[in-house]
């Protein structure tokens, strides 16, 4: 593969010409924060958390979808980049259900980690929030749209890795949601409950139903056959 040389934060880096700036930075040991990016699965430039400054470009560029080119000069840590990325995360948080203390992803959430790393304590934007539907009808997966950041990671893992494709973007603009088509529940969609969407989700928008919830389901509906799965290693501890 042909190689190109570019400069990132003053360091010369030589990488294959099919690399993105994000991959080149990683090769050079430079960390660029990401949120929607999932290597080879979701490289769509949706969240804009990975913005960098490129000499000669009029605006900041999303490094996860920006191909490298010969002689490119990139800066990842300027005041402009830091302030803009902080602003981007503040805007994502403004429309996010921030009840982190009761969220199952508390302390294991990519958005929460990023918020702490950027030193965000208050959200300056307090506008209307997207109506967040909660779909807990299936026996296995709970989808909480109030926590969804519309990164598309679950959509692409369901469609392109698992080959199922029951999740996609529905509605438009402010009302966009990730859900099965035609507003049906996960219970009525041809979901195989592989759980890969949960693994791909960077926040708490998708989660596995707890055993207690499954038991409540069984009490509410005795016709439903409920399987309570156990995790022996965890249970034994």
- Which residues in this chain contact ligand FES in the complex, by CB under 6 A? 34-37, 45-50, 62, 64
Query: Which is closer to ligand FES, CB of 19 or CB of 37?
Result: 37
Using CB atoms within 10 Å of the CB of residue 97, give its burial: 0 to 12 exposed, 13 to 18 middle, 19+ buried: buried
The least distance separating ligand FES from the CB of residue 49, rounded to whole angstroms, comes to: 5
Quote the CA–CA distance of 175 and 192 in Å, as a whole number: 27
Query: Which is closer to ligand FES, CB of 141 or CB of 201?
Result: 201
Angle between helices 79-94 and 110-117 (to 10 degrees): 140
Query: Which is closer to ligand FES, CB of 62 or CB of 166?
Result: 62
The least distance separating ligand FES from the CB of residue 37, rounded to whole angstroms, comes to: 4
The least distance separating ligand FES from the CB of residue 25, rounded to whole angstroms, comes to: 12
Query: Which is closer to ligand FES, CB of 6 or CB of 52?
Result: 52
Query: Which is closer to ligand FES, CB of 49 or CB of 198?
Result: 49
The HSE-up count of residue 57 (CA atoms within 13 Å, CB side) is 16
The least distance separating ligand FES from the CB of residue 26, rounded to whole angstroms, comes to: 12
The least distance separating ligand FES from the CB of residue 64, rounded to whole angstroms, comes to: 3
Quote the CA–CA distance of 145 and 185 in Å, as a whole number: 12
Give the strand pairing for 134-135 and 177-179.
Answer: unpaired
CA dihedral 179, 182, 186, 192 (to 10 degrees): -100
């Amino acid at each position: 593969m042909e190689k190109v040389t570019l400069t990132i934060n003053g360091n010369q880096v030589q990488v294959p010409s099919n690399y993105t700036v994000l991959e080149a930075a990683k090769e050079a040991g430079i960390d660029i924060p990401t949120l929607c990016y999932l290597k080879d699965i979701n490289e769509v430039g949706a969240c804009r958390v990975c913005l960098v400054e490129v000499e000669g470009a009029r605006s900041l560029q999303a490094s996860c979808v920006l191909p490298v080119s010969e002689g490119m000069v990139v800066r990842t840590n300027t005041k402009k980049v830091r302030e803009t990325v902080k602003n981007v995360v503040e805007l994502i948080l403004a429309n996010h259900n921030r009840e982190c203390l009761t969220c199952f992803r508390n302390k294991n959430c990519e958005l929460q980690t990023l918020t702490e790393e950027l030193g965000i304590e208050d959200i300056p934007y307090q506008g209307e929030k997207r109506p967040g539907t909660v779909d807990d009808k299936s026996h296995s997966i709970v989808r909480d749209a109030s926590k969804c950041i519309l990164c598309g990671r679950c959509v692409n893992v369901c469609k392109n890795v698992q080959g199922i494709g029951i999740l996609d973007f529905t509605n438009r603009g402010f009302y966009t949601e990730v859900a099965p088509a035609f507003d049906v529940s996960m219970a009525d969609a041809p979901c195989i409950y592989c759980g890969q969407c949960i693994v791909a989700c960077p926040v708490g928008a998708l989660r596995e139903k707890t055993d207690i919830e499954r038991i409540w389901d069984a009490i509410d509906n005795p016709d439903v056959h409920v399987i309570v799965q156990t995790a022996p290693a965890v249970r034994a501890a």
